[in-house]
Structure 1
């Protein structure tokens, strides 16, 4: 035991790893854990390592026992003793009103490399604030002196100043070959693990679109560190800045940033919410929980924060992500309605288009849009007018002063319609068909073979969609302008596309219609693709007593025997309606009109009625009742 004590004594003398108190704790633990013999060894330890209970130097103050487990109470003097004070140079830089004042202060007082980095950053910001040109001013010899000073001792520059200095060099457009830029870049890469998450986010944000090899290395290193340390992020501004740079971020980091945004959503300003939502929209990241949280907090903002740019961008984001939030839409509409007369034409077009994507119709607001066009028609470009018409058509909105509105529309289209790009021309004419504002000379050129060929380019889905629109345009010409169509009109069109997929509601409806006719299966046809480009879920021919008649071989455009009527059953599902409404979208209103003109008696089966029917018997009774009422209304006309 004596040999062990001597060896321990010798090793502790040579060690410099433990301070006196810590070594005393080691000796105490040895004494308590090894009994009296070890306690005796502790008693012979030298002053440097013996615990206070064993040996205390004369004049040492007694340390309370609780100091080992309780935190130290710091006085005001303790806290602020080591904080550096501003030098005269830094005070002058802070007070500078123009960039020249900063350079004069540097020449007069000069400083070390850390101060040079600070001065360079402040000078750059002040040049931008006063709308100066950095590239022209960087040739000043005083700027070169600043750069040289930074480069000489870059390792002594504080982290915050180093990151800001790199930003300043980026903004100044310093060439990649410049020695100062190279040394700063190298130092930033060397220190990247020691930077705070805010400094890392600044690098990722500022350098997002830098093309230099070293710049990309810095950004990638910063993003990697953020991915490892994402839990440290604790403020909304950083989250917003990083989400805005989403295309450069790994998908895993974006998922975590969305979680952070959800956690910090309460602290977001209206502009933060706008920034995050627009970023999510441009990246097509539809995070429903985050969008709901941001929408809730947006509703709590005061009216003055609902600026027109914010409303426009939020409508774009919601439309792009197909996210509906009625309360937010109502708030935006109420805030925007009084400002409509002062809006520029682009804003009217943007907002109406976004609401059309969302299938949300606010009649007072759209009336204001129509009046805005009527009053400012000369300021609208043809593209803005086209988008406005397509928005109106999608929602089947008819202005109350439609004659005045459409007179101006036709006046503008007469001059420009034929010169439009083929796809846009088709969209606009199709929209006029929905709004019942088409004219034969709009329609006939689009049914010609030369126009059909122009629409055959692109993806298969796009070609099919535009082919259907051409069928609808040809149907409008044939059914709504019968005296203006000739025998060749529409002959260049191929057969209508066949509906490939059917919904569960359509499938159940078609099965129920088969049960409706019983054994007379030839009296009913389901999934009928008409020559007008519309699909009918069920086509049934009935006599004057509403009894099914076997005419399964008769086509939809053929004449029927006297007293026989053709009934079309149409499933109207949730996506066929405007949001929070029982009003059909324009496309489905036009379908009903075309089929009625083609001789069908229409039986509409809306989803909100069909879903209430639980048994097959209820569904059969419902269809019989609906058909009887439809036939009775037709006979009463």
Structure 2
């Protein structure tokens, strides 16, 4: 570095004194001043290329030129069958690079033509000649051709331990720094589907180069392919690819957007900026690019990531509505399930799904019907042709429900309870203790979830009188009441404080966080007299409590009031309608003798002071009591 700096200084000094460098005006040696030693050293040093100079250090003839096209190359491109290519090679032969190109074209035609007898093709002596030539002179094969022939031979079914593949992989590992970024991406895509230590070593080297040179990535398709094929194995690479995808999102095609969204969903990477960019650009695509499988994959990706973008969902629904005839039962159930996870109910689209089932019920398998029922129950959707629809559903489930896996059977019966379509024979089997003993899982969270569902099914049997008294008289017998371990939300906390102010601080006049025998939790409970004034409830009989409460009966004219905090997740995304689970909770509590006061988050958040909240609760209490009296 010091020598280079001195050389540049010397050139600058010479430029500032033009006469000193002129041959005509140079002083005689005797009269010229003595030069410093460092100037003499620099003058003897060969000229170096400045960093800013574009001129190459190599001579033009030293740069490798692409091989000239021969007659064989042209004939191979025009060939129409693998046998024709083999004959052309037998007639003309060529270099190792030409052999590799011929092999690539051979595999391409074999795949296009659906060549079934690939074993004979691999044993053909002409094919073996090309393979041996490539293996023995692999150093002369060009980079792009090397990557392509490696992928082509694997696609044709050449064994991973074959000498030619080992030779190609070793050469690729030696050249890994000389490949372009796109060639590295192709190698990474190939390596993720291969096995063996040699392929793994090549893949690790390729991924290391991809991470080091990620700023070279400038192709949208390459970015999407890398995210889909290699990103799941290398999180550090995926971080860089997400940044690049956000930069290149404008150039993504609809297929690229699908590929990126699916790769994010499969890895559970909820990249909000990238998903927003994808949502914007998918909105700009014409309908011709939005094929049905692509729309279904997008719905699945958004549902898996729980990423809400109403404009995208509306676009997907509007595109799918006129395509009902081309949808399969699997498409319908998959899309319905995705939107159910997103809590997004599009009434015309779900009506279309129900119509599809009515028209194609014979094509639906029982698991697909079960998934459709679970989606409808989650969104609390009741179709316009409910009688016709449920009559066919019951006919399909009549002989198949008992044969389902225990967890799925419990989910289906619970969903029918939500939709108010459960039949006694469905409940009877699920309420059998022998059946409930099958619901054991290593995950405590899953076991607790199904315990709650069993309590809800028991409450349905008892409160809606769907089973004989001896079957449903004891809702606590199947499973114990759930334990309340979660912390209250801010909405629940402020509701508890408002109830405390409403009763004047008397702890015996209200309850909060009440776990009932029905599997539901009441956020707040009051008992009011005939004048709507809270009274002490600790000593009163409480059939909804596991212990039964006190011994005193409910006074004449008194009413039980249950306050239910309506959190944001309790409602459908597009409306203020409760989801199926919470609609069933309200129905069960009303059948248990409660007057329910719903406290939705979108109303409660507008109340800024404690007295406003107390006045709000009093007003809601007065309305539900008046409605009860009007009945």
- Could you tell me the TM-score, scaled by structure 2's length? 0.89
Equivalent in 104, 120, 124 of residue 107 of structure 2? 124
Q: Please say if residues 529 and 535 of structure 1, whose CA atoms lie closer than 8 Å, have aligned partners that are also in contact.
A: yes
Deviations 1:292-345 (A, max 9, x none): 101100000001111110011011101111011100100110110011133111
Q: Quick one: distance in 1 between partners of 2:613 and 2:443? A: 40
Q: Which residue of 1 aligns with 2:443?
A: 459
Equivalent in 92, 97, 101 of residue 114 of structure 1? 97
Q: 1:463-502 counterparts in 2 under 5 A?
A: 463-481=447-465, 484-486=468-470, 490=475, 492-501=477-486, 502=488
Q: SS state of the match for residue 123, structure 2?
A: coil
State yes or no: 1:542 paired with 2:528: yes
Q: Quick one: distance in 1 between partners of 2:337 and 2:67? A: 57
Deviations 1:27-82 (A, max 9, x none): 7457569986477999999x99999xxxxxxxxxxxxxxx998878xxxx99x995
Equivalent in 336, 339, 346 of residue 320 of structure 2? 336
1:562 Cα deviation after fit: 1.6
Deviations 1:122-163 (A, max 9, x none): 211121111114444111110100011112211111111111
Q: SS state of the match for residue 454, structure 1?
A: coil
- Could you tell me the TM-score, scaled by structure 1's length? 0.88
1:278 Cα deviation after fit: 0.8
Equivalent in 566, 573, 588 of residue 560 of structure 2? 566
Cα distance change on mapping 1:526 and 1:27 into 2, 3 Å: closer
State yes or no: 1:620 paired with 2:614: yes
Q: Which residue of 1 aligns with 2:379?
A: 395
Q: Which residue of 1 aligns with 2:624?
A: 630
Q: Please say if residues 271 and 310 of structure 1, whose CA atoms lie closer than 8 Å, have aligned partners that are also in contact.
A: yes
Q: Please say if residues 542 and 567 of structure 1, whose CA atoms lie closer than 8 Å, have aligned partners that are also in contact.
A: yes
Consecutive unaligned residues in structure 2, runs of 5 or more: 21-31
CA RMSD in angstroms comes to 3.0
Q: Which residue of 2 aligns with 1:7?
A: none
Q: SS state of the match for residue 149, structure 2?
A: helix
Q: Quick one: distance in 2 between partners of 1:412 and 1:635? A: 43
Equivalenced residue count is 599
Q: Which is further off, 80-89 or 156-165?
A: 80-89
Q: 1:368-447 counterparts in 2 under 5 A?
A: 368-447=352-431
Q: Quick one: distance in 1 between partners of 2:385 and 2:177? A: 66
Q: Please say if residues 476 and 517 of structure 2, whose CA atoms lie closer than 8 Å, have aligned partners that are also in contact.
A: no
State yes or no: 1:93 paired with 2:79: no
Q: Which residue of 1 aligns with 2:503?
A: 517
Q: Please say if residues 424 and 466 of structure 2, whose CA atoms lie closer than 8 Å, have aligned partners that are also in contact.
A: no
Equivalent in 283, 286, 306 of residue 302 of structure 1? 286
Deviations 1:452-508 (A, max 9, x none): 211122311000100000000000000112663326654532321022212111111
Q: 1:308-347 counterparts in 2 under 5 A?
A: 308-347=292-331
Q: Which residue of 2 aligns with 1:3?
A: none
State yes or no: 1:350 paired with 2:344: no
Q: SS state of the match for residue 569, structure 1?
A: strand
Equivalent in 541, 555, 576 of residue 582 of structure 1? 576
Q: Please say if residues 440 and 481 of structure 1, whose CA atoms lie closer than 8 Å, have aligned partners that are also in contact.
A: no
Q: Quick one: distance in 1 between partners of 2:208 and 2:64? A: 36
Q: SS state of the match for residue 603, structure 2?
A: helix
Q: Which residue of 2 aligns with 1:272?
A: 256
Q: Which residue of 1 aligns with 2:182?
A: 198
Cα distance change on mapping 1:87 and 1:39 into 2, 3 Å: farther
Deviations 1:514-571 (A, max 9, x none): 1110143211011111111100011100001001111223314476222010000000
Q: Quick one: distance in 2 between partners of 1:250 and 1:376? A: 44
Q: Which residue of 2 aligns with 1:504?
A: 490
Q: Quick one: distance in 1 between partners of 2:501 and 2:604? A: 16
Q: Please say if residues 500 and 507 of structure 2, whose CA atoms lie closer than 8 Å, have aligned partners that are also in contact.
A: yes
Q: Quick one: distance in 1 between partners of 2:198 and 2:153? A: 13
Q: Please say if residues 477 and 485 of structure 1, whose CA atoms lie closer than 8 Å, have aligned partners that are also in contact.
A: no
Q: Quick one: distance in 2 between partners of 1:228 and 1:81? A: 26
Deviations 1:572-631 (A, max 9, x none): 010000013101100000000000000000100000000000011111111111111111
Q: Please say if residues 510 and 538 of structure 1, whose CA atoms lie closer than 8 Å, have aligned partners that are also in contact.
A: yes
Q: Which residue of 2 aligns with 1:250?
A: 234
Q: Quick one: distance in 2 between partners of 1:194 and 1:511? A: 69
Cα distance change on mapping 1:159 and 1:621 into 2, 3 Å: same
Q: Quick one: distance in 2 between partners of 1:50 and 1:229? A: 33
Q: Quick one: distance in 1 between partners of 2:291 and 2:372? A: 22
Deviations 1:173-215 (A, max 9, x none): 3234432222222111111111111111111101212112111
Q: Which residue of 2 aligns with 1:555?
A: 542
Q: Quick one: distance in 2 between partners of 1:28 and 1:183? A: 51
Cα distance change on mapping 1:24 and 1:496 into 2, 3 Å: closer
Q: Which residue of 2 aligns with 1:532?
A: 518
State yes or no: 1:209 paired with 2:193: yes
Deviations 1:264-309 (A, max 9, x none): 0000000010011111111111111101101100000001111110
Q: Which is further off, 28-37 or 244-253?
A: 28-37
Q: SS state of the match for residue 396, structure 2?
A: helix
Cα distance change on mapping 1:464 and 1:28 into 2, 3 Å: closer
Q: Which is further off, 246-255 or 195-204?
A: 246-255
Q: Quick one: distance in 2 between partners of 1:83 and 1:208? A: 31
Q: Which residue of 2 aligns with 1:167?
A: 151
Q: Quick one: distance in 1 between partners of 2:345 and 2:426? A: 27
Q: Quick one: distance in 1 between partners of 2:214 and 2:204? A: 15
Cα distance change on mapping 1:40 and 1:219 into 2, 3 Å: closer
Q: Which is further off, 483-492 or 189-198?
A: 483-492
Cα distance change on mapping 1:232 and 1:635 into 2, 3 Å: same
Q: Which is further off, 117-126 or 24-33?
A: 24-33
Q: 1:222-233 counterparts in 2 under 5 A?
A: 222-233=206-217
Q: SS state of the match for residue 193, structure 1?
A: coil
